[in-house]
Amino acid sequence: MEIAAIFLPLLGAFVAGLFGRFIGDKGAQIVTCSLMVVAAILSVILFVQIGFGGPEAARTVHLFTWIDSGSFEVAWSLRMDTLTAVMLVVVNVVSCMVHIYSIGYMSHDPSKARFMSYLSLFTFMMLMLVTADNLLQMFFGWEGVGLASYLLINFWYEKKSANDASMKAFLVNRVGDFGFALGIMAIFLIFGTVQFDEIFAQVPEKANATFNFLGFEVHALTTACLLLFIGAMGKSAQLGLHTWLPDAMEGPTPVSALIHAATMVTAGVFMLARMSPLFEYAPDALAFVTVMGALTAIVAATIGMTQFDIKRVIAYSTMSQLGYMFFAIGVGAYPAAIFHLMTHAFFKALLFLGAGSVIHAMSGEQDMRNMGGVWRQIRFTYAMMWIGNLALAGIGIYGVFGFAGFYSKDIILETAYADHSWYGTMAFWLGLAAAALTAFYSWRLLFLTFHGEPRADEKVMAHVHESPLSMTIPLGILAVGAVFSGIVAYPWFVGHDLAHFWGGSILMLANAEGETIIDAAHHVPGWVPWAPTVVALAGIGFAWLFYVKSPDLPGRAVASIRQLHGIVFNKYYFDELYDALFVKPAMKLGLGLWKGGDEKVIDGFGPDGAANLTQRLSGVASRLQTGYVYHYAFVMVIGVVALIAWFFLSAR
């Protein structure tokens, strides 16, 4: 069953990719979608078995040996514990919805089979990532999803912007993978293995180990954790390695929903949660994770407020939410991070697919400045976007009912507050501020897109229509998740059943009072759980004021802080900075080394110099350089024969 849940998507990718021509577009869609439905059902069954079966239900399915070199042994295997099971459900269910949605969304595209094949390939790679029982298989899935992301961002390969974006995504991710790969090597050096259980068993005894890294005697676990986190920063678009994510919106919208919102970008969060037994012993690394996460949350939220492309706003929102997950990890609240990962997967996929439905309705328009006033024509989509927004902003009444994000965001902020460290406190306040901004840009998006006067031309407006069933049904299912996943899953993920539910898949060390960070979060002052909702409502109010009540306010506000707005609107100039620091110098250096290093220095002193020298030394040499290879070869053979002859004659 485990094998089927993971390898069916690969089968689908294979069939649709290689035989798409024979089975046709319809055939490819039917094959991939039905295989995904089966895989999704299987993963729900697995989730129930493992999540509620107690610690004994966790197991590992060994497939076969991958690499075995001396003491370095790695196997292909499927690790089944609660953490994996949660990811299985998230990945397979969202992927299944996206597969079905794509039938409608891509109905006008000529390469449907290729698209379905890539989607299924991505799903398989993501499943390999989350079921890995060692770091190297995780790296396989990690790079595999990167490949699928590259292929899908570049799906419309004739567009230059898509080419640029896909290359950027792959290369920035490779920078992260550079850290990840070094992290794996460091782990192997420290523990002599890269298999999770074997690593975790040794962590306590190696808690104070040091080793020499780049000339410094460093704390081994902290260094390894930081290297792994660099990998996570790349994949999960944390500040510094985030520049690829907004550009990745060049891909078709279902791709943005699946890869760049719900699943792949959360791989970094998953990796850190998986390595919790390691990170728990590396408090300095955790502090760094917290700071990066909190900064990402707030910076992305500010950029999100200023953008006009509907998909980019949601992309920055994703980046910001990932920041939340990371600072939750940073304060040691791994279950809270995974809880938010799960709820976020539902409501962010919903938002993206809803945005896709809008774009579909508006004949491909993505700029919100050219939208507005369409909510009557596409009421279902409008309702879905409301639900997605309510879940994202975390609206709810404490103790009664809330949308999915209400529970997961609250517990994250509570844990940050309860941590009482300087970075935890910083994360709490930045996270609270980001919550207000989140609500603001979410309703800004909603008002700009659906309300006010229509700003699109008449031709577009005449075509505005609700999407087909293949698109609306997945929206509805995801909406159910966005409404209920929080309240239903709360007790298992971060509530009373936490210990039983997670089993041994996540480690949280207890503090001096003997309670974990999640326990502590349940005892924060009474105002803390209310704060996120209050600031979110304030954010919504401001959005209403700016974009419905008095639409001239945004212009005046921007004018009053023109320079600051410019910096934020241009995304803090990260792209320009990197281009000037890395991309251009690399190209220049390459050209310089080629023309200067190879041709001038090496050849100048080497073969070309030798040629000139011999030519100047004697006319005979120049006559010998006839340019015929035979002559050179002949001379060489003669020389060899002469040398051997001389040797034998002189030796005897």
Partner 1 sequence: MADWPILTLTTFLPLVGAFFILLIRGEPDVVARNARAVALWTSLITFVISLFILANFDPSNPGFQLVEEYAWMPAYNIAYLKGVDGISIWFILASTFLTPICVLASWTSIQTRVKEFMIALLVLETMMVGMFTALDFVLFYLFFEGVLLPMFLLIGVWGGPKRVYAAYKFFLYTFIGSVLMLLAILTMYLTVGTMDMRAMLDHPFASELQLWLWVAFFIAFAVKTPIWPLHTWLPFAHVEAPTAGSVMLAGVMLKMGGYGLIRVNVQMLPEGTFYFTEFVFVLSVVAIIYTSLVALAQNDMKKMIAYSSVAHMGYVTLGIFTMNQQGMDGAIFQMLSHTIVSAALFLCIGVAYNRLHTREIDAYGGMAKNMPRYAFVFAVFMLASVGLPGTSGFVGEFLSMLGAFQVNTWVAFFAATGLVLGAAYMLLLYRKLFFGKLDKPEVKAMRDLDWKEVTTFAPLVAIVLIMGVFPASFKDVYSPTVEKILADHQASLKAAGLIKPEEAQAAGLTVTIEQPSGAVSGN
Q: Return d(Cα 450, Cα 447) in angstroms, integer.
A: 5
Please report whether residue 215 would count as binding partner 1 according to CB under 8 A: yes
Q: Does 590 bind partner 1 (CB under 8 A)?
A: yes
Could you give the angle at the alpha carbon of 316 between the alpha carbons of 416 and 432, nearest 5°?
25
Looking at residue 126, its amino acid is M
Residue 136, interface with partner 1 (CB under 8 A)? yes
- Residue reference for tokens 């943005």: 256
Pick the binder of partner 1 from 30, 41, 209, 567 (CB under 8 A): 209
Find the binder of partner 1 among 500, 511, 603, 621 (CB under 8 A): 603
Q: Is 279 in the site for partner 1 (CB under 8 A)?
A: no
Q: Which is nearer to partner 1, 178 or 386 (CB)?
A: 178
- Helix 422-450 / helix 310-330 crossing angle, nearest 10 deg: 160
Q: List, as one string, the DSSP characters of 458-488.
A: HHHHHH--PPPHHHHHHHHHHHHHHHHHHHH
Q: Which of 56, 158, 453, 458 binds partner 1 (CB under 8 A)?
A: 158
Smallest distance from the beta carbon of 17 to partner 1, in angstroms? Answer: 8
Distance CA 269, CA 279 (A): 12
Residue 147 is a binding residue for partner 1 (CB under 8 A): yes
Please state the closest distance from residue 261 (CB atom) to partner 1, in A: 24
Q: Which of 60, 210, 370, 425 binds partner 1 (CB under 8 A)?
A: 210
The correct pick among 34, 107, 163, 370 for binding partner 1 (CB under 8 A) is 163
CB 269 within 8 A of CB 334: no
| Distance of closest approach, residue 117 Cβ to partner 1, in angstroms | 11
Specify the 3-state DSSP secondary structure of 508.
Answer: coil
Q: Is residue 68 a contact residue for partner 1 (CB under 8 A)?
A: yes
Name which of 70 and 619 has its Cβ closer to partner 1: 70
Given the rule CB under 8 A, which of 281-289, 352-360, 540-548, 597-605 is the region that contacts partner 1? 597-605
By CB under 8 A, tell whether 174 contacts partner 1.
yes
**Cα-Cα-Cα-Cα dihedral sign, residues 214, 220, 221, 222:** negative
Q: Would you say the C-alpha torsion 442, 87, 126, 171 has a positive or negative sign?
A: positive
Candidates 553, 561, 587, 613; binder of partner 1 (CB under 8 A) is 587
Give rounded-to-5 percent helix, strand, coil for the chain. 75, 5, 20
Least CB distance to partner 1 at residue 9 (A): 15
Query: How long a stretch of residues is the chain?
Result: 652
Q: How far is the CB of 589 from partner 1 (least distance, A)?
A: 5
Question: Does residue 589 bind partner 1 (CB under 8 A)?
Answer: yes
Q: Is 627 in the site for partner 1 (CB under 8 A)?
A: yes
User: Residue 447 corresponds to which amino acid?
Assistant: F
Give the E-state strand segments of 18-87 in sequence order: 59-69, 72-80
Minimum CB separation from partner 1 for residue 469, in Å? 32
- Least Cβ distance, residue 72 to partner 1 (angstroms): 5
Q: Does 437 bind partner 1 (CB under 8 A)?
A: no
DSSP 8-state secondary structure symbol assigned to residue 211 = E
From 81-89, 363-371, 413-421, 622-630, give the range in contact with partner 1 by CB under 8 A. 622-630
Binds partner 1 by CB under 8 A, chosen from 401, 422, 573, 594: 594
Could you give the CA distance from residue 148 to residue 146 in angstroms, rounded to a whole number?
Answer: 5
By CB under 8 A, name the one of 580, 638, 640, 645 that touches partner 1. 640
Binding status of residue 206 toward partner 1 by CB under 8 A? yes
Q: Are 506 and 126 in contact (CB under 8 A)?
A: no
Q: Which of 185, 433, 473, 538 binds partner 1 (CB under 8 A)?
A: 185
Residue 214 near partner 1 by CB under 8 A: yes
Q: Work out whether 10 is an interface residue with partner 1 (CB under 8 A).
A: no
CB 87 within 8 A of CB 270: yes
| Strand 396-397 versus strand 216-219 pairing type | unpaired
Evaluated on CA atoms 485, 117, 131, 203, the torsion sign reads negative
Regarding 220 and contact with partner 1 (CB under 8 A), the answer is yes
By CB under 8 A, residue 140 contacts partner 1: yes
Place of tokens 């939340």: 324
Is position 557 an interface residue for partner 1 (rule: CB under 8 A)? no
